[in-house]
Amino acid sequence: MEDAAAQLGIECQVSAHPVTAAKSVASDADIVLLGPQIRFELNNIKSLLPDKEVRVIDMIDYGMIDGKAIVNKIVDFIK
């Protein structure tokens, strides 16, 4: 995802963390992305991070490891 973002001229940092660390590690995040395998945690994470935008990564994009598609969807959302 970082490479795909760089190709679009977007600087970003991507990191992965367990759900239990969401509140402590998301303070600097502009957006929090959840893998599709934990989509059932969406409402829980949203309640932990009420000031953050929380989204679930599309299952097909995640499975295909399609960083470009994921970044494009984030960019479309932010616009």
Position 56 scores a pLDDT of 98
Domains defined for the chain, CATH in brackets: 2-78 (3.40.50.2300)
Per-residue pLDDT at 79 exceeds 90: no
- The 10s digit of each residue's pLDDT in 24-70 is 999 889 999 999 999 999 999 999 999 999 999 999 999 999 999 99
Q: Are 72 and 45 in contact (CB under 8 A)?
A: no
pTM reported for the whole predicted model: 0.89
Q: What is the pLDDT at residue 37?
A: 98
What stretches of 14-72 adopt beta strand conformation (E)?
Answer: 31-34, 53-56
State how far the Cα of 34 lies from the Cα of 22, in Å rounded to an integer. 10
Which of helix, strand or coil describes residue 4?
A: helix
Under 8 Å between Cβ of 65 and 55: no
